[in-house]
Structure 1
């Protein structure tokens, strides 16, 4: 979104996360974007292994051979230019030598032409020298055979325990110049542009887990399908199977299961039972609300303990409650400049609304 570099962080062996935090860290603005990087890592690895697969290696060797042939053609053209310039220089010299010295004007003109051909000859020779100095490594038959043999073992070598992360980075950076990442709002989709060495760009779309079902791009269609099929008396297993056949996915970007369908049905029923005056009340996960406010999760947790924001523990997670009016208050609290030990105004730290279950 902003053109800056994203940073990676790890939580365990398989939980890498990409985040663009520069504007937040330097100027206190909201976080630009962040997402679980596993899907990007898997895609990048798959594309890289395709790029160095035996079939791709064969094409690359053929392309290298074609480039070598083209190089010889260009070199021959440069050599012909040098030969032509040498011939024209020799002709100009003979004409200059044959002129009558007493005819000064003609002699001066022929001398000027001879010097011009000498300069052109020198320029063509320098061009040929520069071209030859651009060394292109030769691929001997033995080296080609070695490359072809290694290419069939690349997936095994790539995943071997002896292959370090630095080894993989070195290979990857030799093939890829950069990856441009753009999350699509709060949906599960991420747009990627991979710029490969040599200038080619490939475009892809991957998915990332989202915290709420409503953020799925296809959430309205999924909801209608579930409610329609349950109205027809279908089982959870039948509904989940149909969702998977239609190509839908859950908020975790996984296939639907009867358990997930059952959970969504409960969620839909709970939403239908909410009183009209309470329907504007929005629930947030810790990470989600922190992202919305541009805060660190630790700061938001501190606010929760102080009672500055309403939250309720559900199972092992905290659910925060904030509608648009409450979000305005929290944003003012974020923007409030606390100097020294001065007390934060009570109107900024007092929640406007209460959790609906607390009012029951």
Structure 2
């Protein structure tokens, strides 16, 4: 049975075979038809394809799936329209949320497992976009040759068994019965010839150079960029994403590791490769709250910036929400409302009590670099909430004696005089 199914290694009773798009077996462990039956896809019992099931750290799909994906992206105009769109997409699908899956347990045990679906969707999305990266494509090319060799080795094993069986039959026959022994000897020779034929095919396969795939290197590189562009494009709807997923992923098996408090995902890629992903599961009572340092940064940034600007500053510093999402104006607004942080409102008279670096330097009469160096040296009080963010200065502090000392020192510096030299000519002479 399918090795990643929870019933793998157990005796499974098949009660009924149905066709629901694909063949389905209704099964149970007890064998009693009165028990709740579980639908199991028929392909999970197929031993002929079990040789292609393998778990690898580098996920990849078959070359046929890559060709199908390239044609699909070509249909939607990936090379012209979607690449030009290029903007990041924040999913607004209402179906994303908690995931519930029916386990195989019965007899009063829990009939459903549940976990948050957002982080699962994000993890599968990253894995999906990774199967068209150069390393994954190289693994897919090598896997195509390995699958041929595996098939030949299986044929060789069967041929050797048939030859050994034919020899045992010939050896057990009565030598006096010439008619029987001649027929058994002919069968034995035919089986040995079959073994030699397969061995020759294996030797030829190992020496032959790998066949070039129909897609060139530039096309493979373009495939990775096109897939990411189509997936991230705002115009890409859920229906197209489902077509892409079904082209590359056969199924995803989800389970919970209660000991490690993790969500265990086994992605079954088209072609037989399996990849295991482990995601942390939110523990009971755990909240995905925004970290306190981000809240404090927002509390300071509202002194000089609106929610749009704050969202941009947070994203530029690589910060995310408690759920791991990028910041938007709406999310900053929701954070302020929950934390009771007042909104930034420009003063009607333009007399702002708090200024950024450019405004404070202009008011003081020095360059922004001079003021920044003074603030970093602690010569004047200034706030810098985030490394990739604005400086914040109080207008009252810019009128202090410390600020006056910075201005006087800058004016006395002959290497960096403030203003233009008196003998400097104007670039645009007066015409009046």
Q: TM-score, normalised by structure 2?
A: 0.33
Q: Which has the higher contact order (CA 8 A, sep 6+)?
A: 2
